[in-house]
Amino acid sequence: MPSMVHTLPASSTSDPSGAVACRPMAGTTHVFQAPKGTRDFPPDVMAVRRHIEQAWRSASIRHGFDEIDGPTFEHLDLYTVKSGDGIVSELFSFRRSGGDTDYALRPEFTPTLARMAAAKGKSLSIPTKWFAMPDLFRAERPQKGRLREHRQWNVDVLGVAGPEADAEVIAVAVAGLRGLGLGPDDIRVRISHRGAAAGMLTALGVPAERIADAFALVDRREKIPADAFATQASELGLDAAAVRRLDDIATCRRPASTPPTDLAEEHNLPPDSVADLTALSTELDRRGLLPFCDWDLGIVRGLAYYTGTVWEIHDAEGTFRAIAGGGRYDQLVELFGGPTVPACGFGMGDVVLALLLAKRSLLGDTTASLLPRPDVFLVSSGDEDAEALLVPMATSLRDLGLHTRHTWKATRNIGKQLKEAAANRARTAVILGDELKGGAVVVKDLDSGEQHDVPLADLPAWLPRRLAGADR
Ligand code: HAM
């Protein structure tokens, strides 16, 4: 059994920090905190997550992708086979009490997707265009932009070997970010190629068995000081000149409007990968994506299964860690016992994205402004007739599909209830007051301040029309 597998005692829950919270004993009080690296989602924070998910789902559906999901935990082996050491060392893994099978909470979605595709075998539609928005779990050291649980949007195309599939998934990622208000001055898609990186490293003298280590080092280039990079590069067997060349490669970035052949001349890229990048450039151009993209030879990606184009999306200033990462993985479905199926896709996390949206003031004045606005706030004068009508009217309006609220406080002061309606950002208030004696209610538009007396019998037809803007 691998060393990172922990068996949890049945009567306790384990915090990733190692603290164990026991069952409270009768008569004692225990104060619990959420485990390190996890988040609580009170309504205003949840509204941000929904806002992000809406943009993700809308972009996926507009590009013709179907939503899928899988189990939250999988057999441990699914990840040890091909995800790479980085992710394997971050697994939350466990056994059922008394069981002998090792499981892991999913740290990423791609192995689940490849397993699902492999299980379909020859019946897998070509192309298959899937998206998912799973919660993922990684036992990372929590830090800005990196947590132990995050939500990740995954978009993948299976069955298309050509660059149109790579460009299509990049287009979906960019559309999702544009839907949230981000443009080419805010985000950059940084693109490279695993074959190009392997070719350059081999030419520098990195032995074949150290290429994966060299990828990991290049992947860390922006996260470690230049001297630490140089030391670790020399440990790969590179002389001082080769270390300098490696640093040049790892920091080489050009606008994607630059022909990849220019980069090839500068850095000795293998012809196959230059051809792939040139074809990708045409496909990006056809989709109007070149202004968002850069060639960046420092992008290699930490996961082991990528085989071709690789890319990440970063904030333009490079303040945060990656917002998204993806690439081509043409062998993974086959590795899981399926047919040979070329594939590419990406994952985009909600953590860095929310930080960037907040930094760019793209979450409204307050995050509460992202909460769904009530259509109606019912206000009662407290008279017998009004009180009798309040709950049945709320029920009928809700049956009509309107988001309806009323106070749960004891007060029947109309001014205070209108204040509560405004605090809830309700669009209208329906006031059950003296007008009820004449069979009418007052409808107040809380945005414009306009008021109308509306006969009770007309309200079910009048109010939805008014809210739809038809009566203005
Ligand atoms: P990844 O680069 O490991 O790729 O993750 C993708 C994105 O998820 C990252 O760029 C980051 O925004 C977010 N993310 C990852 N780990 C964390 C964390 N601990 N806390 C917060 N956010 C995080 C993959 O997972 C690939 N399976 C993506 C993929 C799909 N490739 C092809 N298809």
Backbone angles phi, psi at 22, to 5 degrees: -85, 165
C-alpha–C-alpha distance, residues 461 and 457, integer Å:
9
pLDDT, residue 5, reads 39
Q: Is the pLDDT assigned to residue 456 strictly greater than 50?
A: yes
pLDDT average, residue stretch 313-339: 95
Q: What is the pTM of this model?
A: 0.90
Question: Of residues 382 and 367, which shows the higher confidence score?
Answer: 382
pLDDT for res 83 = 64
Q: CA–CA distance from 37 to each of 18, 34, 155, 351 (Å)?
A: 13, 8, 25, 11
Look-up: residue for tokens 């890229």?
269
Both tokens of residue 84? 């790479």
Ligand 1 site residues, Cβ closer than 6 angstroms: 108-110, 138, 140, 146-147, 150, 152, 154, 156, 303, 322-326, 345-349, 351-352
- Evaluate if residue 162 carries a pLDDT over 70: yes
| Half-sphere exposure of residue 246: CA atoms within 13 angstroms, side-chain side | 34
The per-residue pLDDT of the chain, averaged, comes to: 91
Mean pLDDT of 427-433: 98
Ligand 1 atom with the smallest distance to the CA of 138 is 19
Q: Higher model confidence: residue 7 or residue 131?
A: 131
DSSP 142: -
Tell me what pLDDT residue 470 has: 55
H-state helical runs in 205-347: 211-220, 226-234, 240-250, 260-267, 271-286, 332-335
Please, are residues 463 and 454 in contact by the beta-carbon 8 Å criterion?
A: yes
Taking only the tens place, the pLDDT of each residue in 22-43 is: 455 667 888 999 999 999 999 9
So what's the pLDDT on residue 264? 85
Give the pLDDT score at 28.
Answer: 81
- So what's the pLDDT on residue 23? 57
Query: What is the per-residue pLDDT for 86?
Result: 72
| pLDDT at position 402 | 98
The tens digit of pLDDT for each residue in 384-417 reads: 999 999 999 999 999 999 999 999 999 999 999 9
For the chain, what percent of residues have pLDDT higher than 70? 92
Take atom 1 of ligand 1 and give the residue whose Cα is closest: 325
Could you report the per-residue pLDDT of 115-149, keeping only the tens digit for each?
999 999 999 999 999 999 999 999 999 999 999 99
pLDDT at 9: 39
Select the highest-mean-pLDDT range: 263-267, 360-364, 396-400: 396-400
**Percent of the chain at pLDDT above 90?**
74
Distance 329 CA to ligand 1 centre (A): 15
Does the structure show a pLDDT above 80 at 7? Answer: no
Peptide bond into 134 cis (omega under 30): no
Going from the Cα of 152 to the center of ligand 1, the distance in angstroms, rounded, reads: 7
**Where does the pLDDT of residue 10 fall: very low under 50, low under 70, confident under 90, or very high at 90 and above?**
very low
Ligand 1 center to 446 CA (angstroms) = 43
Which pLDDT score, from 0 to 100, does residue 465 have? 96
- pLDDT per residue over 340-352, tens digit each? 999 999 999 999 9
How many other C-beta atoms lie within 10 A of the C-beta of residue 207?
Answer: 12
Residue nearest to atom 9 of ligand 1 (CA): 324
Confidence class for position 462, pLDDT limits 50, 70, 90: very high
- Overall average pLDDT of the 64-79 stretch: 96
Least confident of 152-166, 175-189, 230-244: 230-244
Residue in 81, 88, 351, 357 to alter for ligand 1 test, most ligand atoms within 8 A of Cβ: 351
Domains of the chain, CATH where assigned? 43-359 (3.30.930.10), 373-468 (3.40.50.800)
Q: What is the pLDDT of residues 278-323, one digit of tens each?
A: 999 999 999 999 999 999 999 988 888 999 999 999 999 999 999 9
Tokens 């920090």 locate to 17
Mean pLDDT along residues 172-193? 97
**351 CA distance to ligand 1 centroid (A)?**
10
Strand order in the sheet with 73-75: 5-6, 93-95, 102-105, 73-75
State the average pLDDT over residues 349-378. Answer: 90
Neighbours of 301 (CB within 10 A): 22
Give the closest residue to 326 by CA, choosing from 136, 189, 129. Answer: 189
- Identify which of 286, 301, 300, 326 has the alpha carbon closest to the alpha carbon of residue 164: 286
Question: What tens digit of pLDDT does each residue of 216-257 get?
Answer: 888 888 888 888 988 998 998 888 898 888 888 888 899 999
User: Which of 65, 113, 152, 344 to mutate for ligand 1's pocket (most ligand atoms within 8 Å of CB)?
Assistant: 152
Instruction: Give pLDDT, residue 265.
Output: 84
CB distance 347 to 110 below 8 Å: yes
